[in-house]
Structures are given as C-alpha cells and as structure tokens.
Chains A and B, each alone.
Chain A
Amino acid sequence: MRILSKEDFADFVNALIKDDAWDVIGVKAKGDKFAFGPLESAGELRLDYDVTLLPPKKYFFPQRETLFTYNLAGGFSAKNPAEAKPTVILGVHPYDIIALFHMDEIFRETKSDPYYFDKRKSSIIIGVNIQKMSKWNFSPFMGCATVDYGYDLMLTDLGNRYAISVGSQKGGELLSKYAKNVTEALARDIQLVGQKKREIVNMSQQKFDFSPELIPELLKKTYEESDFWERHSEKCLACGSCVLVCPTCYCFDVKDDPDLSLNQGERIRTWDGCLLEDFAKVASGENFRATRPTRYRHRYFKKGKYLFDRFGFISCVGCGRCSSNCLPDIANPVNLFNDMYREHAHNGVQVAVAESPKVSIQTEGNIDYVPNLATIIKKEQMTTNEMFLEIKLDDGSDLGHKPGQFVEVSVFGVGEAPISLSSPPTKRGSFEICVRKLGNVTTKLHMLKVGDRVGIRGPFGNGFDLDFLKGKNLLFVAGGLGIAPLRSLFNYVLDNRKDFGHVSLLYGCKEPRELLFKDEMVALQSRPDVEFKSAVNWCPDGEAWTGSIGVITTLIPQVSFDPDNIYAIICGPPVMYKYVIGDLKARKVPDDHIIVSLERRMKCGVGKCGHCQINEIYVCKDGPVFNYSKIKGVPEAL
C-alpha cells in the first residue's frame, strides 16, 4: 500500500489529464447528483460522491454503439469502429467494480464480445472506497461494499492523504509515471484502511431480513404466485428505469441507421430493457412477455436466479440505483425480497440456500457482427406471404449448417432478422430459406430480386441432433410456416433415407393456397418410403383439396406408431404445441421422445442481447431445438 498526499494526488490527476495518451474520466457533480464524465481538472473530481446516475459500464458498453459502418456504393464494404483510446476511469466504487466483473463473464460466455473487451482492455480502473453511502445502497448485504480485486488502483481517503492499493502492474506503472512523492504506507495507515473498510460494511440504511444467499431458492418458490407479482407490479410504469440504470444489465437492441444517401450507414446497438413492452415481441405480433407482472418478475428472476444458475453469482451488487430511480417505489430489491421472505415464513415454507451451480464458462472465439455477403440466386413466390429464396455466399463457401439452425439475414439499411434454414446440409454450394412477409426485413426481402445482395450471419443455434436421430422412426408435425425449419431435417432424412426408420410427415395449414413447398408435398404422396398426411383448417368452395379438413391434430389419429419407438419432431405457431403434445402424450409417447423447435425474438444470435430468453434459456444458443422433457418444466417455453 502507498500513500499520496491530497495535493500530490491532485497533481497526479492533472498530469494524467495533461497527457493526450489518455482519456481521463472521473466522477463529477451533476445538479445535486453525480455522474462519470471527462475530467478537465482534478478540481472537478468528487470522490466523496454517494452514487453516480449511471454506472461506469457506459464506457465499455455505451448507450449507443456502432458495430460497423457500411457502404453499398460499388458493392459492399463494412468497417469496424476504430480501436478504443486508452482511458483512465477515476473514482469507481467497489460495487461497480464487481458489476464490471459480472459483465465480463456475461460478455465472454460462448462468444466473446470484442467491442466490450477492446474498451475493457484499454482502460485503467482507479477505484475509491465508499465515503458516503446512498440511502438506497445495500451493497454490504450483497458482499459488494468493498473489493479486493478488479481494480488497477484503489484509493481510501485518510483525511489529508489517500492510501492507494495497487491491484495491477498497469496501476503501479501509472502511479510511478505520473505521481510524485509516493511513499510506502506505515502500519498505522494500513490499519486505518482496514478500519474504514469495516465501517463501510455497516453504513447501509437498507436491511435484509434474511440472508441474500436464499434469494435463488426463494424466487424458485415464488414463480407461480401470480398474485404476488401482480400486487408488486401494479404501479409499474414499464418505463425501464430500473434496468437502464443497472450496472449489470446488458440487454441490447440492434438497428440500422442509414444516412440520407440511403447507400451508407451504420449498424448500431443500443441499450434495451426487459421491462419494456416490446422486448419479447416478434414480427408476427406475438409478444412472449406481454404483461407488466411477467416482465417485472423476469427482471428479478434474471438477477436472482437465471444468472445465478448460469454463472454462480446473484447479478445484483446492491448499488440501489434501481430503487432510487423507480418513481412508484416498487423496484427496491430489498423490499421485494423481504416481502417474499415474510410471506413464505408466514406460510411456514422453508427456504434453503441454493446449491452452488456447476459453472463452466467457455469462450469459443469472438462474435462477428459484420455479416458475410451473399447473393440471391433463386426466388420463388410460394404463397401471397411466403417467398422461397436460394442464397449463395459470395466467397463460395458452404454455410456448413445443421438442420434446425437459423441465420441472421441482413438487408443493409433496414436491419437483420433471424430466419430458419430450410435446406439440408446435404445441399452444397447454396442454402434455402422460406420468408414470411411480416416485419421490415422480411418485407424488404420479398422485394429483392435475383442477383441482389444480402448479409448473412450464422448459422446459429443447436440444430437437430442427427447422430441421435439416426436409425429412429420419425414423426414430423409441421404447422404453417413450421414446415420451413423442419424441411431442413426432413430433406436430410430423405437424402439419407436408409439411415432412418419409418418416416411420417403431418402437415397442416389454414387453407390450400397457403400450402408451402407444394410440389415437394405432391411428390411425397407417391413415395412408398414416407407416410404423408396433410390438413387445412378450411377449404374454400371450388378449390381442390384431397387431404383432411381440420386443425393439425386431426392428423394424429390417422397414423399408427409404437409410442416407445418413435420420435416426434414438432414446429409450428406458438398456439399449436400444447395441443399436439397433448395428443401425442395421450398416445403414450414419452416426453423425451418429443422434440420441438421454438420461435423467439433472436437479435444477436449468440446469447447476449436477452430478447429470446425463455426463463433461464437462450433460444438462440440453447435452442431453437429442444427435447420436450427438458423444457416441459420451463413455464415460458410453451
């Protein structure tokens, strides 16, 4: 530990500011509040602050960030943003340092986010121990009021001087380069710092009535209590303030921002929040978390349960920003959890400490947000609303996908949309998708011509487990556009027909004119090695229809199978699943013989942006293909 007088510390800060090699950020006054901002002189620095309006995460994961700029003139070129400038961030409280540690884990899981880590690596964090604690702060209860890691330097105010703990080599070098008259701390000062840290732990004006270690299990017992969630969220404005100010929230949206030439522009990501109304809404209009209580509940579960199960920590550091920013005062986690605990205790429910989850965070390379350029080589209108597109990557490579995976398709200037792959990997050189005209991107895709360019990212998602399905009897159940993803597997099976047992396809849609892949369906009828049944909800007078009339489930009694020796593979509109699964279960098909492919709002494709989450599951990464036995207990799934 080192010691620096306050005068010498001010000189140190001014010396840093004077050196153009650094951007120097510090805590400054903003009205009666405080905010991190660029420092012009050491005099502006307010290390006696209670809490800043926004956490310092805005320097690593900004409110609005350019992922790349594009130019369509003369083909297509994309440019990544310039590398981050080295930055010193001065005055970070311990809870915000721990929050950054949480963000690090989230941004490196599966695929590492280069935008975040580029800025993280080029920055130096100078922490400061809390001098004044905001009245909403409960960081001591979360074990986040003090910290022994995650900083380059850590300051403790000792009256006329700062005690400085050096946490990294970078920090030590910064100190020796820019600070004068640094001395080694005497035993007395080290003792004083220890005493200050012990005092901080007792500074909170908030109080948990129980150990926060119980939170994950407590939440688990409260999920189904809709009355509890409705009561607590009655006043929720769905304004998103609680999540937007949170130091560990990381959900984002991705959009295109073209300039007026319409030929160039940028793809940006902006902060988003799971409390906001359209967060889980897909282009078809289906909103998977449409009500305020379910979104309100999701926030607490995300922090206290889902991230705990995934990473082993409760993703709340107790900064109290959510509490202080909530106008109806319903976002304070301390109040909510105390209520929850009290109601359980009153009902005699015992809550245990959750078992520590097995955490193994793997990083497989970086996320690349810049799509690969591809060309539409075939286009065919299948119905009024569905278009078949065959696409070839411009670099000539195969997409290399598995059946059941999806790609993010870009129309530059309009945006990106997740679309299932319809062709089997056995088809080389190009791939196929079936696009329903729903949102901006899909509408635009319908308007493109053969030879037009699109962007492709992916393939994403898990896809079907081909090795597992090999040799099995398969029953495909497709409703409407659900045939599109299933076709990638179905055609794969046909291309390798001898590797599979009995194969049936049940396909239903609203009316004959909505039938997709009509020619292929007709061809199936004459194939002896495939059983094919189709149904329409209704058939207008005068139209030819030889299949059944009724919903998809009318087809299930028409096929005979040994339930223990069949695997059902289902995809269709959200409403379809429970009926089809219900009928299959009535036929004694075991749960783990049912495989579903689910639709959600998939924006990033790599388990980061948060939109496709169903409870703890990221559909884009853990799915979209699920074994029913694994998700039947996941309430938001079906």
Chain B
Amino acid sequence: MRIAFPRNIALAIALLGVGLALNACAATEAPAIINEEEAAFSAGTAIDPPRTLSDFTLPSTVSPTLSLSDLRGKVVLLYFGYTFCPDICPTTLAELVHVKRMLDADADNAAFVLISVDPDRDTPGVLTRYLAAFDPDFIGMSGDDQTLRAIGSDYGLYYERRADLATSADYLVDHSSATYLIDQEGQLRMVYSYGTPPEVIGADVQDLLR
C-alpha cells in the first residue's frame, strides 16, 4: 500500500529540509559568543596606585641570569607559563607577537618576558628554541620554586604541578594565565586576563611609551 502525501505537506517537508540544512550551516558560521567573564576582563584591570614589584633574578635566555631591575627603562609585558602547554600559553604568546607588531619601532622600548613555572622542562636552552618560533626578541626566564614563591604575591600567581592526571605526560601545570604590564620604573600598572584583545594591551603600552 502506498500512502500519497498531499502535495502541500510534501512541499513543507522539502522546505523544512532545506531550512534545517541552511540552519546547520548558519550555526557554524555564527560569531563566537563572548561569555560575560571574558567581556568583563577584556579591558584589563588597572592597578591604581601602581604597585612596586619585588626584584628577582633568574636564569634567562639573554644572559646567564637576568633581574627584573635590568629591564628598568622599558615597558615590560610579563607572562607566567610553560612550553609543554599546547593551548593557553602559545595563544597568549601569539597575541603578544601582535602587540609587538603594533608597537612598530617603539618595540625597542618594550620587553616581552615569559617566566616558566616549569623549570625542570624549561631550561634557558629550551626557552630560546621555543620563543624563537614566536619572536627571537622575546625573553625567557626559568622560574624556580623558591623565587616564584617569593614573588608570587606581587602577581597573585598560582601554579601547581599535577602528576595525578590521566595523561601520558609526566605532569601538567595548572597556572595563572594573566599578562602583567610593568612600567619603565618597574611598577605594576595593568593585569590582563587570558583573551584580552592585543589591541587593548598594545594601546596601553603605547600610552606608557608616549
């Protein structure tokens, strides 16, 4: 037995099919929705009054040891991360590459610093190879626990090595993902959450260099 669909129902089904297909299409092309948290942090948090930061000295990619005070006179963008991190850290560093490009010739007056929270993996040699893929001028420092503990409160830094996860990696590191803007006098001026647009950070650096 064959049931003949009335023509208008068949047509409706046909149109529905097309509609669904187009809808599915639109869904993949819709702009990503920015969640409220990201929106709230997208301009960064001003540290007012600016906070004087403790000096520290660590093994680095530019000299056997480097101190924060050695960078006095430059605007510093500082990030804590680790090279084994496949996602958050390289995303942030790629954004800092955009910031540096925005600065153009002024980039000579800025320093971009990655402090590793994973010194066992991230020797200065590893950091040099890793950072060269982003920008050879980026500076890497191997943070040891003692130093990171001493300066952590200045940055609200949190990090924890996790060897208890179901991964083939020996361990992963949970860590703060903010970027810190330090002025020419070594004072903390801004904190940017992960996902802050490079244009926002670049404009703040340009303001300090003006």
Does B bind A? no
Residues of B whose CB lies within 8 Å of any CB of A are none
